[in-house]
Amino acid sequence: MGWEALEQWGDDVARVEPLAGGVANDVWSVRVNGQLAVGRLGRRSDADLAWETRLLRHLDGEGLTVPVPIPTVDGRLFADGLVVMTYVDGGPPETQADWRRVAGTLRELHRLTRGWPQRPGWRSSTDLLHAETGTKIDLGAMPAEGVARCRAAWARLAGRETRVVHGDPNPGNIRMTANHVGLIDWDEAHVDVPDLDLALPDNAAGLDDGAYDVAAQASAAWEAAVCWEDEYAIKRLAEVRPV
């Protein structure tokens, strides 16, 4: 249906300007009843969008700063692939202290999502020790030697408890002010071992040397697999040690 779906949020709605939103979605700033918001149009399934919007409402209710889905006139949280969410202000982390605040927010995300069901169609890093595919990941498209390196990195996570991970806590997906640390762009969120979120700059999560190595290797392997085979993925795979 496209952006005509925006009409389902009422008469006082309009697109304003395009925003950076990654390859999979068309993301714009929008105005809904005079308020600045963000609209994201993509091809995700209804089940996937239901998982994401439920998660964001849960996290908002628990006090985390996240984009909150704005319902359509008839109360739906998405329509025809379009989600409209509150705008989160702020800038990226710049200092070690900022990144420590980010680490604290990520740990709160993990604490709040114990027992959360897996995102429809997704697999965790440890699932991929045996599975070949899961949503954006197709290990069959990677060189066999690269798959072996990724699986060796993920094997070090086996047996650990899983929670929701943001999946892509890079500076562009973080909105900080003096009062909050906001996490935006939940496209890569899924249930996995929290270490994947905690290989942060300057080891802001305060992991010991061994734990940081496990997190950094597993995270590099995940990003290589999920993005294969663009330049960034190839760069990340190069960071994963040979078996």
Number of domains the chain contains: 2
Inside any domain, residue 78: yes
- CATH code of the domain covering residue 53: 3.30.200.20
What mean pLDDT is reported for the chain?
A: 96
- CATH code of the domain covering residue 219: 3.90.1200.10
**For residue 148, what are the domain limits?**
96-238
Task: Identify whether 132 is preceded by a cis peptide bond (ω within 30 of 0).
Answer: no
Residues 104 and 204 in one domain: yes
Residues 79 and 117 in one domain: no
Using a pLDDT cut of 70, give the percent of the chain over it: 98
Task: Look at residues 86, 104, 129 and tell me which one is the last residue of a structural domain.
Answer: 86
Task: Read off the pLDDT of each residue in 62-89 and give the average, rounded to a whole number.
Answer: 97
pTM, to two decimals: 0.95
Task: Read off the pLDDT of each residue in 60-81 and give the average, rounded to a whole number.
Answer: 98
Inside any domain, residue 243: no
User: Which residues lie closer than 8 Å to 124 by C-beta, 6 or more apart?
Assistant: 118, 162, 190, 191, 192, 193
Task: Look at residues 31, 63, 86 and tell me which one is the last residue of a structural domain.
Answer: 86
pLDDT band at residue 196 using 50, 70 and 90 as cut-offs: very high
Cβ(181)–Cβ(174) below 8 Å: yes
Strand (E) or helix (H) holding 183 = strand 181-183
For residue 5, is pLDDT > 90? yes
**How many C-beta neighbours within 10 Å does residue 60 have?**
15
| Digit-coded pLDDT (tens) for 130-182 | 999 998 899 999 999 999 999 999 999 999 999 999 999 999 999 999 999 99
Inside any domain, residue 91: no
| Digit-coded pLDDT (tens) for 29-45 | 999 999 999 999 999 99
Q: Which DSSP letter does residue 74 get?
A: T
Residues 127 and 200 in one domain: yes
Residues 101 and 82 in one domain: no
User: Which residues lie closer than 8 Å to 185 by C-beta, 6 or more apart?
Assistant: 21, 22, 168, 172, 173
